[in-house]
Amino acid sequence: MIKRFIVRILTCTLGIALAAKYVPGVDFYGSLSSLLFAGLVLGTLITFVDPVLKILTFPLRLLTLNLFSLVIDMAIIWATAVLIPDFNIVGLAALFWTAIVVYALNSILWTIFSPLLK
């Protein structure tokens, strides 16, 4: 259980770093320790808040063929950017692409590492 949480934190940290490097409008000004803290905050929100929001918004996700999950992911990343002063996202397009980068990276790395975590 704790191994999965650590992998989630590391993938979120890597996702924030990649988004800050490649997505225009996303900036991260802090050090490596503050980047790890941002990954910790994002990983914690994804682990504990995301499932609750997805359960509460099930009818809306059903009507939109699960596209509303992207809005939930964007809200969680925006909340992380609000909580971490070194993490700055300017614009809705930057938030959208950051959510895509973090979601894709989490999916790819989770597929790779999940057999090792059992």
What pLDDT is attached to residue 51? 94
Q: Where are the domains of the chain?
A: 6-117
What pLDDT is attached to residue 45? 96
What pLDDT is attached to residue 103? 93
What pLDDT is attached to residue 3? 86
Give the contacts of 24 (CB within 8 A, at least 6 positions apart): 94
Name the residue among 116, 83, 76, 117 with its Cα closest to residue 98: 76
Q: What is the pLDDT along the chain (118 residues), one digit of tens a residue?
A: 788 899 899 999 999 999 999 999 999 998 999 999 999 999 999 999 999 999 999 999 999 999 999 999 999 999 999 999 999 999 999 999 999 999 999 999 888 888 887 7
